[in-house]
Structure 1
């Protein structure tokens, strides 16, 4: 799948579409993704601000997706943990940009080459239109090389 198709598909994914979350960019080399969330009368909480769960969902799949595509076939990749610190009430248009540096990808390749798992933490901030931090998010991604059974060709 291309980054462009993934961006479109994720923006039309019902949980994101209904919540007002849009994937505005995925780099062609899968090194970064940018996601926005515009708070409106239809998707705000009781206090008129962003739902905490929606803020968390903005970053949820992206580090795993970016890593999966950069690593290529032969790896098991999944989101293992998430921590979010709410800094200020989210209002207006919020943005999160997730970046996976190629050096980190190479480090994960080294860590998993012998069959061991890699647990890597990634961090991003969700900011409002003025650049003020609304939330700080940490995501841990699990990676392990796919085990190949003897006598079975690897995919």
Structure 2
């Protein structure tokens, strides 16, 4: 277990999980460096939002938000959402990512992360039947009113039954 998972385990005895995730993200050094901030996580963890302010910390040579800041602000959210929604019986890993820049970002950016109840049920059902699956999640970084898309991040997430995953790994040479 990572230090973050251990802190979650201890913190859950006092605080609600969605609060721990929000403030845990926002105070963790790795996420702070992205300059993104979690602004909301729903109590069921199925919905989260972030804000990426344009600032001197993330401006690039042409005065727009550095692409690395855009990617790193959205990168960990879907995987960590799923880990916490699905629970300890599942293994969840980021497998691949593709980022598409649509236009230079010269204003604050916002993103939303959704997992529907139906999506989670389908993931669980597919894992029961297939033992391991991959899903694709797309996140748009937009302006506040969502009228402009500045960047799209496509993430492939690997999900497996934990017992199956351990057995599969033990067979590796």
| Matched pairs, number | 150
2:170 aligns to what? Answer: none
Q: Which runs of 5+ in 2 are unaligned?
A: 1-7, 9-16, 167-173
Structure 1 segments (4+ residues) deviating >3 Å? none
Q: Is the 8 A contact 1:91 1:128 kept in 2?
A: no
CA distance in 1 between partners of 2:35 and 2:79 (Å): 22
- 2:94 aligns with one of 54, 75, 79: 79
2:120 aligns to what? Answer: 105
CA distance in 1 between partners of 2:83 and 2:123 (Å): 11
Offset of residue 130 of structure 1: 4.8
Q: Which runs of 5+ in 1 are unaligned?
A: 150-155
The superposition leaves residues 49-100 of structure 1 with CA deviations (integer Å, 9 ceiling, x where unpaired) of 1111111112211111111111112100011111111001112211111111
Could you state the TM-score of these two structures normalised by the residue count of structure 1? 0.88
CA distance in 1 between partners of 2:72 and 2:87 (Å): 24
1:143 aligns to what? Answer: 159
For 1:12-91, list aligned pairs within 5 A: 12-91=27-106
Query: Secondary structure of 1:126's match?
Result: strand
RMSD between superposed Cα atoms in Å = 1.9
CA distance in 1 between partners of 2:107 and 2:129 (Å): 47
**Structure with more relative contact order (C-alpha pairs < 8 Å, separation 6 or more):** 1
The superposition leaves residues 22-63 of structure 1 with CA deviations (integer Å, 9 ceiling, x where unpaired) of 111111101011111111123211111111111111221111
Could you state the TM-score of these two structures normalised by the residue count of structure 2? 0.80
Change (3 A) 1:126 1:40: same
* Between structures 1 and 2, the one with greater helix share: 2
Query: Secondary structure of 2:43's match?
Result: coil
- 1:8 aligns with one of 23, 38, 41: 23
